[in-house]
Structure 1
Amino acid sequence: MPGQEDEEREFDLRWADDAAHKEPSARARMLAARWKENPPGPVPFRAAPDRGTSLRSSWMSTALVLGCVAVVIVVLGYARFRAPY
Protein backbone atom coordinates (compact mmCIF):
# COMPACT_ATOMS: atom_id res chain seq x y z
CA MET A 1 0.00 0.00 0.00
CA PRO A 2 2.29 2.75 -1.20
CA GLY A 3 -0.46 5.38 -1.10
CA GLN A 4 -1.02 4.97 2.62
CA GLU A 5 2.70 5.26 3.39
CA ASP A 6 2.94 8.49 1.38
CA GLU A 7 0.04 9.99 3.31
CA GLU A 8 1.63 9.04 6.65
CA ARG A 9 4.96 10.49 5.55
CA GLU A 10 3.30 13.72 4.42
CA PHE A 11 1.58 13.96 7.80
CA ASP A 12 4.90 13.46 9.58
CA LEU A 13 6.56 16.19 7.48
CA ARG A 14 3.70 18.62 8.14
CA TRP A 15 3.86 17.80 11.83
CA ALA A 16 7.62 18.41 11.91
CA ASP A 17 7.34 21.66 9.94
CA ASP A 18 4.64 22.97 12.28
CA ALA A 19 6.70 22.30 15.41
CA ALA A 20 6.78 25.24 17.81
CA HIS A 21 10.43 24.72 18.76
CA LYS A 22 13.04 23.77 16.16
CA GLU A 23 16.37 22.48 17.43
CA PRO A 24 19.44 24.15 15.87
CA SER A 25 21.87 22.05 13.90
CA ALA A 26 24.96 20.55 15.50
CA ARG A 27 27.19 23.10 13.73
CA ALA A 28 25.06 25.98 15.00
CA ARG A 29 25.26 24.64 18.56
CA MET A 30 29.04 24.18 18.26
CA LEU A 31 29.58 27.72 16.95
CA ALA A 32 27.30 29.20 19.61
CA ALA A 33 29.30 27.46 22.34
CA ARG A 34 32.62 28.54 20.82
CA TRP A 35 31.50 32.15 20.31
CA LYS A 36 30.16 32.39 23.85
CA GLU A 37 33.72 32.04 25.16
CA ASN A 38 35.60 33.71 22.30
CA PRO A 39 33.38 35.91 20.08
CA PRO A 40 34.60 36.48 16.52
CA GLY A 41 35.88 39.88 15.49
CA PRO A 42 34.20 42.02 12.85
CA VAL A 43 34.85 40.90 9.29
CA PRO A 44 34.15 43.17 6.30
CA PHE A 45 31.75 41.90 3.66
CA ARG A 46 34.43 42.21 0.99
CA ALA A 47 38.06 42.86 1.52
CA ALA A 48 39.45 45.95 -0.19
CA PRO A 49 41.52 44.88 -3.19
CA ASP A 50 45.12 45.94 -3.49
CA ARG A 51 44.82 48.66 -6.12
CA GLY A 52 48.35 48.40 -7.50
CA THR A 53 48.51 44.79 -8.63
CA SER A 54 44.84 43.93 -8.92
CA LEU A 55 43.99 46.62 -11.44
CA ARG A 56 47.06 45.91 -13.54
CA SER A 57 46.46 42.16 -13.61
CA SER A 58 42.82 42.74 -14.51
CA TRP A 59 43.76 44.81 -17.57
CA MET A 60 46.49 42.38 -18.56
CA SER A 61 44.16 39.40 -18.40
CA THR A 62 41.54 41.28 -20.43
CA ALA A 63 44.15 42.18 -23.08
CA LEU A 64 45.35 38.56 -23.17
CA VAL A 65 41.83 37.22 -23.74
CA LEU A 66 41.05 39.79 -26.44
CA GLY A 67 44.39 39.06 -28.10
CA CYS A 68 43.67 35.34 -28.17
CA VAL A 69 40.24 35.98 -29.68
CA ALA A 70 41.79 38.19 -32.36
CA VAL A 71 44.38 35.50 -33.20
CA VAL A 72 41.66 32.85 -33.52
CA ILE A 73 39.64 35.10 -35.83
CA VAL A 74 42.68 35.78 -38.02
CA VAL A 75 43.63 32.09 -38.18
CA LEU A 76 40.09 31.03 -39.07
CA GLY A 77 39.88 33.74 -41.72
CA TYR A 78 43.22 32.70 -43.20
CA ALA A 79 42.17 29.04 -43.21
CA ARG A 80 38.95 29.89 -45.03
CA PHE A 81 40.86 32.08 -47.51
CA ARG A 82 43.30 29.25 -48.27
CA ALA A 83 40.64 26.50 -48.47
CA PRO A 84 39.76 25.31 -51.99
CA TYR A 85 36.23 26.19 -53.02
Structure 2
Amino acid sequence: MASRAEKPVTVTLGPLTAAAQDRVKSGRYASVSEVVRAGLRALDREEALLDQLLTARVAEALADTRPVQPAENVRSGLAARHARRTGKPA
Protein backbone atom coordinates (compact mmCIF):
# COMPACT_ATOMS: atom_id res chain seq x y z
CA MET A 1 0.00 0.00 0.00
CA ALA A 2 1.32 3.46 -0.91
CA SER A 3 2.40 5.68 1.92
CA ARG A 4 1.10 9.26 2.15
CA ALA A 5 4.56 10.53 1.17
CA GLU A 6 4.38 8.79 -2.21
CA LYS A 7 2.89 10.79 -5.05
CA PRO A 8 0.75 9.12 -7.70
CA VAL A 9 2.51 8.49 -11.00
CA THR A 10 0.77 8.52 -14.35
CA VAL A 11 2.02 5.91 -16.79
CA THR A 12 1.03 5.63 -20.44
CA LEU A 13 1.10 1.97 -21.41
CA GLY A 14 0.14 2.42 -25.04
CA PRO A 15 -0.38 -0.97 -26.68
CA LEU A 16 0.35 -2.71 -23.36
CA THR A 17 -2.82 -1.25 -21.83
CA ALA A 18 -5.01 -4.12 -23.05
CA ALA A 19 -2.60 -6.72 -21.68
CA ALA A 20 -2.59 -5.03 -18.27
CA GLN A 21 -6.37 -4.75 -18.25
CA ASP A 22 -6.73 -8.41 -19.27
CA ARG A 23 -4.67 -9.41 -16.24
CA VAL A 24 -6.96 -7.39 -13.98
CA LYS A 25 -10.09 -8.87 -15.62
CA SER A 26 -8.71 -12.38 -15.13
CA GLY A 27 -8.57 -11.74 -11.39
CA ARG A 28 -4.84 -12.29 -11.12
CA TYR A 29 -4.35 -8.64 -10.19
CA ALA A 30 -6.62 -6.19 -8.40
CA SER A 31 -5.57 -3.17 -10.48
CA VAL A 32 -3.40 -2.02 -13.34
CA SER A 33 -1.12 -0.49 -10.69
CA GLU A 34 -0.52 -3.99 -9.30
CA VAL A 35 0.30 -5.22 -12.81
CA VAL A 36 2.85 -2.44 -13.27
CA ARG A 37 4.40 -3.10 -9.85
CA ALA A 38 4.66 -6.82 -10.68
CA GLY A 39 6.30 -5.91 -13.99
CA LEU A 40 8.85 -3.73 -12.22
CA ARG A 41 9.63 -6.49 -9.73
CA ALA A 42 10.13 -8.92 -12.64
CA LEU A 43 12.42 -6.39 -14.32
CA ASP A 44 14.42 -6.08 -11.09
CA ARG A 45 14.83 -9.89 -10.99
CA GLU A 46 15.83 -10.01 -14.66
CA GLU A 47 18.40 -7.25 -14.25
CA ALA A 48 19.85 -8.92 -11.13
CA LEU A 49 20.24 -12.20 -13.05
CA LEU A 50 21.86 -10.37 -15.96
CA ASP A 51 24.27 -8.66 -13.56
CA GLN A 52 25.18 -12.06 -12.08
CA LEU A 53 25.71 -13.52 -15.55
CA LEU A 54 27.87 -10.62 -16.68
CA THR A 55 29.91 -10.70 -13.46
CA ALA A 56 30.51 -14.43 -13.95
CA ARG A 57 31.47 -13.95 -17.62
CA VAL A 58 33.91 -11.14 -16.78
CA ALA A 59 35.47 -13.23 -14.00
CA GLU A 60 35.77 -16.15 -16.44
CA ALA A 61 37.42 -13.92 -19.05
CA LEU A 62 39.84 -12.44 -16.53
CA ALA A 63 40.79 -15.93 -15.34
CA ASP A 64 41.48 -17.11 -18.91
CA THR A 65 45.20 -17.84 -19.24
CA ARG A 66 45.25 -18.10 -23.03
CA PRO A 67 47.43 -15.47 -24.75
CA VAL A 68 45.76 -12.28 -25.96
CA GLN A 69 44.97 -12.22 -29.68
CA PRO A 70 45.67 -9.08 -31.72
CA ALA A 71 42.47 -7.29 -32.78
CA GLU A 72 43.32 -7.67 -36.47
CA ASN A 73 43.51 -11.46 -36.11
CA VAL A 74 40.09 -11.47 -34.47
CA ARG A 75 38.63 -9.22 -37.20
CA SER A 76 40.02 -11.31 -40.04
CA GLY A 77 38.85 -14.52 -38.38
CA LEU A 78 35.34 -13.13 -37.97
CA ALA A 79 35.31 -11.90 -41.57
CA ALA A 80 36.37 -15.35 -42.81
CA ARG A 81 33.72 -17.04 -40.68
CA HIS A 82 31.08 -14.65 -41.99
CA ALA A 83 32.20 -15.32 -45.57
CA ARG A 84 31.92 -19.07 -45.05
CA ARG A 85 28.43 -18.78 -43.53
CA THR A 86 27.04 -16.38 -46.12
CA GLY A 87 28.95 -17.54 -49.17
CA LYS A 88 30.09 -13.95 -49.75
CA PRO A 89 33.77 -13.02 -50.01
CA ALA A 90 35.29 -11.27 -46.99
TM-score interval, normalised by the smaller of the two chains: 0.3 to 0.5
Q: TM-score normalized by structure 2?
A: 0.36
Larger Rg: 1
Higher relative contact order (CA 8 A, sep 6+): 2
